[in-house]
Amino acid sequence: MTIRASLQAAVNRSAMATWGQPATYTPASTGTPVGITAVFDSAFVAVETGGEVPVSTVAPVLLVRLADLPADPEQGDAVTVGGGDYEVADVQPDSSGTVRLRLMQAA
């Protein structure tokens, strides 16, 4: 592991320990729930400027370390956090070993 990767992993662990809360993650592929710690934001604001007019949306988002998940996250996976049940609507990995999961209320 490179020094940069080691530092990123340490920062990610520290962030989860400081701001994280318990969550249950259930991959659709296995149906087996796993307890994780993740940072939950129930009103994340995303601004998309791909077109001529910027569009903003408010949606719940879960930030989680990829190493804490039993499998790569996919649309349709289930999450229980903050007293609510959600479904993964979009998976947005980054280069630091974390992934932002845009959520929607489970049906």
Cα 107 from chain centre: 19
Cα separation, 40 vs 60, in Å, equals 7
Alpha carbon 17 to chain centroid, angstroms: 15
Within 8 A by CB and 6+ apart from 52, the residues are: none
Tell me the average confidence (pLDDT) per consecutive run of 10 residues in the chain, 107 residues long: 77 81 96 96 77 80 93 96 96 90 93
Q: What is residue 38's DSSP assignment?
A: E
Residues forming beta bridges with residue 102, ordered by sequence position: 61, 90
Predicted model pTM = 0.81
